[in-house]
Structure 1
Amino acid sequence: MKTIEIDDELYQYIAGQTQKIGESASEILRRLLLGDETAIVPANPEPVTPAVVAVVGSNIFDLINRQDLQAESSVVGRFLFILSTLARVHKKQFAKVLDIKGRNRLYFGRSAEALSEAGSSTNPKPIPNTEFWVITNSNTTRKKMMLTETAIKLGYSEQDAERIRDLL
């Protein structure tokens, strides 16, 4: 399995071509590009309109599936992928994550330096396709807590915040 980077607009187009729940990006591309008849397509597919997969006014569950997450081999990779997707969906609100802090350290910042100055051994990493950074040396339980708090700050219900946490 290879990984490729595509821009958000192209991703939205591919997602908009989904004809069945759980259809992978590979299956969609194989069907679109190669006309692969072996790609499983339901007899009466429900059309997916661009409004369903549009980023603005959308939520993370429209954009993330288990296959995307399995492509990330590490917890830190999945953590950054989920945060990046949340940032893409909630571009205007994502700065609210700057309010999420630990007892003695910042979890999010606008630079690696800001996070490094606020604690030792933070191992800050950029959240892909954003201007934000996050500490990554915390344990998985702390990362899950950070995802839960992020989701709640972005307006998700407690139940959906837990679903987001469980993606990690």
Structure 2
Amino acid sequence: MKTIEIDDDIYQYIASKTEQIGESASDILRRLLIEAQTNTTGTNNVQLNEISNNPATLEHAQADTTPATTNTNDTQSNTNKAKKKKANSNVFDFLNKEDLNMQKNVVSRFLFILSLLNRAHKDSFNVVLDIKGRNRLYFAETEEELNSSGSSTNPKQIPNSPFWVLTNSNTTRKKMILTEVATHLGYSEEQAEKIREML
């Protein structure tokens, strides 16, 4: 196995294409290359199987095929599918186990998971503002709002989002918060369990 260096934005793009938990960057890249090959050439299934089993044959397979003609209706269909997929995206579309494992403590994992949930549900993530404790807020749009809701809340901004979350609660409470967030965003009980256990 060879090690290569890639820019952060390229790695983030690869990570965003994760289709299942634990899928490695190498597996994702191989799948993307095969999909690109399939979309732009007349590669048949035999060649695809050969490429899947031996990535070194990708270049040879590409040289032996001729470009397929592009149909406007196919392009529109692909665009509609992409829009539909985006509308139906969930946190598992963006999760990369390697990135999760890089978060070295509970607070950083908590913020990372919330960041992924925000990324997957940008248009509806503000429902987290409805999630509250008996005497304090869990989420707010400003640090001051959380600070004024109780003592020693230790607010942190959720990365790449306008929202803040309190972080001084224990791990059990953080798991309960993640479960509530998942439920508010429409995840099933089983999916909410998986999200909670990422912590």
CA change 1:103–1:19 in 2 (3 A) is closer
The equivalent position to 2:99 in structure 1, one of 58, 68, 73, is 68
Report deviation, 1:19: 9.7
1:24 aligned onto 2:24 = yes
1:121 partner amino acid: S
1:104 aligned onto 2:114 = no
Contact 2:110 2:174 in 1 (8 A): yes
- Give the structure with the larger helix fraction: 2
Q: Percent identity?
A: 57
**Pairs aligned (count):** 154
Which residue in 2 is equivalent to 1:147? 178
Query: In the aligned structure 2, how far is the partner of 1:5 from the partner of 1:103?
Result: 41
Report deviation, 1:15: 4.2
Query: In the aligned structure 1, how far is the partner of 2:107 from the partner of 2:82?
Result: 31
2:156 partner amino acid: K
CA change 1:14–1:82 in 2 (3 A) is closer
Q: Deviations over 1:59-112 (max 9, x none)?
A: 111211322211100110100000000001011110000000001100000011
1:80 aligned onto 2:80 = no
SS of 1:6's equivalent in the other structure is: helix
TM-score (normalised: structure 2): 0.65
Contact 1:19 1:42 in 2 (8 A): no
SS of 1:120's equivalent in the other structure is: coil
Report deviation, 1:12: 3.8
Which residue in 1 is equivalent to 2:12? 11
CA change 1:19–1:86 in 2 (3 A) is closer
CA change 1:103–1:63 in 2 (3 A) is same
Contact 2:131 2:139 in 1 (8 A): yes
User: Which is higher, the Rg of structure 1 or of structure 2?
Assistant: 2
1:6 partner amino acid: D
Q: Which runs of 5+ in 1 are unaligned?
A: 33-40
CA change 1:127–1:64 in 2 (3 A) is same
SS of 1:138's equivalent in the other structure is: coil
2:25 partner amino acid: A
Report deviation, 1:136: 0.3
CA change 1:124–1:15 in 2 (3 A) is closer
The equivalent position to 1:158 in structure 2, one of 189, 192, 196, is 189
Query: In the aligned structure 2, how far is the partner of 1:72 from the partner of 1:126?
Result: 16
Report deviation, 1:23: 3.8
